[in-house]
Structure 1
Amino acid sequence: MKKILLFLSAVMFLFFPMNIHAEEMVTVRLFQNIEETSELDIMLKGGYFSLNPFFQFEDGVNYSLSVKKGKLVIKGNGQKQVVEGSVYIVPEKYDVDHQILINNHPYLGAMEFAVENNQFIRPINQLPLEDYLKGVVPLEVYPSWPIETLKAQALAARTYAVAHINDKMDDTIRFQVYGGYDWKASTTKAVNETKGEVITHKDKLINAFYSASNGGVTESNANVWGGNPEPYFPIKEDPYDPTHPWEYSLHQEQISLDNVDWTDSKCWDETEEVDQKITNTMKKKLQKNGYPGDIKIVSIPTFELSKDQYDSKRSRKGSITIQFLHRLYDGTVMLEEYELKDVEINRIRPLIGGDLFKSYLIDSLDFQNKTYTMQGRGYGHGVGMSQWGASIMGQKGKSYQEIIQHYFPGTTISKY
């Protein structure tokens, strides 16, 4: 794979204009709006050539890609071709008029269509770093935010990308959200006006972490991911972050077993939990943790936090017990229990879902009327830059250099 990507880079340099030859190339696996699928529709705008000699794609023609018995099948323009391995497509000229549309979503640069796990199609996009960032920044922040805020985000995104450029990056929050050729004028301007700038400490790239909101208190990297604490990730009050308070509730009893008519053949399908958004998340996690098959969450007998906290007042540990019905493939239904006792809280949060359990800066977890209610502040890990805090700083007239110094103290803005 690495040799192929290096070859693609060489091909791109041969055909792309001179002004991008000095740019770093980014390779990103595409999951957004694709997930795991065995079928894709593509169309090309502008001239492209395929590195697969037996099939060439034409401008403006709709093609379908599918996986059959571990091989790619390409159909379109009255042709059909079965390909063993990947399909590679490279633009004859690199510019915004040459686009690859995947399920009607446009991308620039070269594209590999690989077979993943012998059954799924995985598009892998390769393009210059700066244009990759133009597809990242508008999805990580609001393009309507102040230009200095957008520049600070561009620096954080560029630094993060360069630091991870040899990793198998994808287009999700596991790395940075990337939307292809979905550029906005304001964020493109921010990328262009900071071109090549990165954040360094002692002449080394930092991991420029950021999250939506730190809840008013930044966090140390060591408290989130372990390792040594970095001086540019201190725990300190953040007067600019708007705190973003949040709250969610979870009923202890999700299904009253006394009210289920087990003689009814439809009872399993018709029985539903009280808090389905949370229980659906729980089911997915349980299925990935050794409980395959159908699941119904019956109750959450215990859910509590340890008094142990970090200096940032973020919670460290907690406990939860989940009782559930587990229907095996042969139809047998068993009452099971899944317990996490005094564990790191990052093992509990995925059971609830990060869009509800938004951070570890938790103010309270109460239990009244057989209902758990958790209240907290912030959205995300809290390390590095608060995106909402940066937006407030921009509104107050702070420059992007001041924003970077506030959230990454002691660092330097350097040319990459």
Structure 2
Amino acid sequence: MKDYILPIAAFTIFLLIIPLAALALNTNVQYNTAKNASSVTQAPPVQPVPVSAAETDGGFTVYHTRTKSAETLSADDYVRGVVAAEMPAEYPGEALKAQAAAAFTYAAVQRAYHRTHPAAAASIGGADVSDDPSHYQSYISEETARRRFGSDFDWQWAKITQAVQAVHGFALTQNGQLINALYFSCSAGKTESSHDIWGDDVPYLVEVSSTWDSAAPDYHSTVRVSQAAFQKAAASDVSGAAFGPDPSGWIGIVSHSDAGGVLTVRLGGKTVSGTNIQSLFGLHSTHFDVQFANGTFTFTVLGDGHGVGLSQYGACALAKQGKSWQDIVKYYYTGVAVTPFPW
């Protein structure tokens, strides 16, 4: 699964906040080297919910979509499997640590939600999280990692394990609350704000520069769609869309975010979101331009993923510059703290 394949409907993110005070904590203190798809493209619909310490420890129960079964794992084992699935082990250790901290924090938020909302948990077999990467984080077992990494397994698994151990016992917080630690593969030069993408003002999910991403392998992509396929897809997805005799007028970009992503588009005379177009035509991001010529619509796309939160390639670049994992998460999640938290 690629991190840019989103549900057809426009998606919504709701911030889940977990007061640390309620936990009685000391708050003073997609193959080997290939792109591992960052799958946190959509947070499930959750609302703020207070939790107790008993609801935040004991590892994670993971629903496996392929086998339709649940498995309880220690926090370390779960996060290690997420990092193995989400980020290439060739990335510097500090980038892997940043990924591990984000992965744990994101999962802790989902765990708290599902343990206090049984109806929502029922959709994933009563588990805390799912390995369905269209709604949760990707996860692979050690056995799967061994097959995927091949002869590189020993050093890659050891490196990932070291990264997880280094951040064990810490989470990402703001104002005493766990953050929704979203991440993605690479931006088009700036990260997107949560406000521009989902309409929510989340103080730590705001636009930041990430110019290093232009060197990412997946920074530039092109998608071509035939005229017939374009019309069929658009007509099936957009109620009341009308298509005149000139296909070049079927689609037009209306507005952009501050970071440059497409916010709104006119499609068949109807206004739709950029994220809708992204999912409809399988684009890597909402940073796209579109042209029609010779019976084909050509989308030119920059970046990979929803663009909100931590850029994985940016984390790699910052780590290569000598930044620590704490520096990296504090750069991409504005105003957050690294706080002791039970795993």
The TM tier, using the shorter chain, reads: 0.5 to 0.7
The match for 1:180 among 138, 141, 153 is: 141
Structure 2 unmatched runs, 5+? 1-55, 115-120, 122-128, 146-156, 240-244
Aligned AA (2:226): H
Written as runs of structure 1 = structure 2, the 5 A alignment for 1:235-384 is 235-242=207-214, 244-253=219-228, 282=233, 286=236, 301=247, 303-321=250-268, 341-353=270-282, 357-362=283-288, 364-384=289-309
Deviations 1:230-266 (A, max 9, x none): 2222223223323612222222145xxxxxxxxxxxx
Distance 2:266 2:172 in 1: 39
Per the alignment, residue 159 of structure 1 pairs with 105
- 2:177 aligned with 1:204, yes or no? yes
- 2:203 aligned with 1:231, yes or no? yes
Aligned AA (1:409): T
Aligned AA (1:396): Q
Distance 1:245 1:26 in 2: 36
Per-residue deviation at 1:208? 0.5
Per the alignment, residue 132 of structure 1 pairs with 78
Percent of residue pairs identical: 30
Per the alignment, residue 386 of structure 1 pairs with 311
Per-residue deviation at 1:23? 4.5
TM-score (norm 1): 0.55
Distance 1:314 1:375 in 2: 12
Larger Cα-atom Rg:
1
**Contact 1:155–1:197, Cα closer than 8 Å, also in 2:** yes
Structure 1 unmatched runs, 5+? 1-21, 35-120, 255-274, 291-298, 322-339
Secondary structure of the residue that 2:262 maps to in structure 1? coil
**Contact 2:238–2:270, Cα closer than 8 Å, also in 1:** no
- 2:166 aligned with 1:193, yes or no? yes
Per-residue deviation at 1:373? 1.3
Higher relative contact order at CA 8 Å, sep ≥6: structure 1 or structure 2? 2
Per-residue deviation at 1:225? 2.1
Runs of 4+ that moved beyond 6 A: none
Give the direction of change, closer, same or farther, for the CA distance of 1:393–1:222 in structure 2 (3 Å limit): same
TM-score (norm 2): 0.66
Per-residue deviation at 1:131? 1.2
Higher relative strand content:
1
Aligned AA (1:206): I
- Count residues in correspondence: 250
Higher relative helix content:
2
Aligned AA (1:27): T
Distance 2:167 2:212 in 1: 23
Per-residue deviation at 1:366? 1.3
Distance 1:236 1:399 in 2: 18
RMSD (CA atoms): 2.7
